[in-house]
């Protein structure tokens, strides 16, 4: 949606054009999944409480280009956006995980209670409320929870991911968004160390990531009767 009023200035437009571009798309991964490497960005933030990070505004994307290009020069496919804040549980400053590039992020771990947990950051105004995020949460609550999974929209930190990896509790990490549906993550570079996200070296995708793609594709392509169609 763009303002079309014939004046130059900052203010609400008196007229605007809402337009929709429709186009056919091919498979995002024509030769199968390729797991991506992420670089956690610690010198810039994408969004903040009270800001407009929850909206798909052009203004949210231009500032992401340079951190993305810098991550690419170091060999990473995408950058991971963090938000530094005090953790009320410990009183310490932590890097909270928010989103990856222009995708929402999901992590699967075995939590400290020994339960498998699928988690993603909550909609606190700093997270884009993606339709694929919402779909994955709904499918997980319907189909993974009965298998014993805990499904969480909650804040989590880089420290928690690092501990899960160190203690062998990291299962898999993936991004979600309309273009790719899901994007498996191999590792995350953070403050000089590389956190391995649980994929075996000879695998490009983990079982939950693959399952989510299969479930969502079956609904999109009409292989499964579903109210979302
Ligand atoms: C578009 C977008 C997403 C994914 O949203 P979908 O509706 O699932 O495509 C996630 N994060 C950001 C920042 C985005 O721009």
Domain ranges of the chain: 25-220
- Tens of pLDDT, residues 6-48: 998 899 999 999 999 998 877 777 778 899 999 999 999 999 9
Task: Could you please state the CATH topology (level 3) that the domain comprising 25-220 is classified under.
Answer: D-amino Acid Aminotransferase; Chain A, domain 2 (3.20.10)
Pocket test for ligand 1, best of 61, 83, 104, 213 (most atoms within 8 A of CB): 104
E strands, the chain, in order: 2-3, 16-17, 36-41, 78-86, 93-100, 103-110, 116-120, 150-153, 170-177, 181-190, 193-196
Which ligand 1 atom is the nearest neighbour of the CA of 104?
Answer: 10
Which ligand 1 atom is the nearest neighbour of the CA of 179?
Answer: 9
Residues within a 6 A CB radius of ligand 1: 56, 99, 102-104, 128, 130-133, 176-178
203 is catalytic: no
Alpha-helical segments (H) within 38-178: 65-73, 131-139, 158-166
pLDDT at 166 over 90: yes
Mean pLDDT on 64-70: 94
- Tens of pLDDT, residues 39-55: 999 999 999 999 999 99
Q: What is the pLDDT of residue 39?
A: 97
């Amino acid at each position: 949606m763009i303002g079309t009023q014939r004046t130059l200035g900052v203010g609400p437009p008196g007229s605007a054009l809402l337009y929709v571009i429709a186009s056919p798309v091919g498979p995002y991964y024509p030769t199968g999944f390729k797991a991506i490497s992420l670089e956690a960005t610690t010198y810039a933030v994408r969004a903040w409480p009270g800001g407009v990070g929850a909206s798909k505004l052009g203004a949210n994307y231009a500032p992401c280009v340079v951190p993305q290009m810098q991550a690419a020069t170091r060999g990473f496919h995408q950058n991971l956006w963090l938000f530094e804040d005090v953790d009320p549980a410990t009183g310490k400053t932590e890097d909270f995980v928010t989103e990856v590039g222009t995708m929402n992020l999901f992590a699967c771990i075995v939590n400290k209670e020994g339960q498998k947990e699928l988690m993603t950051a909550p909609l606190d105004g700093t997270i884009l409320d993606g339709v694929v995020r919402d779909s994955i949460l709904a499918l997980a609550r319907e189909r993974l929870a009965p298998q014993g999974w805990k499904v969480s929209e909650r804040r989590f930190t880089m420290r928690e991911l690092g501990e899960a990896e160190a203690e062998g509790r990291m299962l898999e990490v993936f991004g979600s968004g309309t273009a790719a549906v899901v994007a498996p993550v191999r590792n995350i570079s953070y403050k000089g160390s590389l956190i391995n996200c649980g994929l075996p070296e000879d695998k490009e995708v983990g079982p939950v990531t693959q399952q989510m793609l299969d479930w969502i594709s079956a609904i999109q392509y009409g292989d499964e009767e579903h109210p979302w169609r």
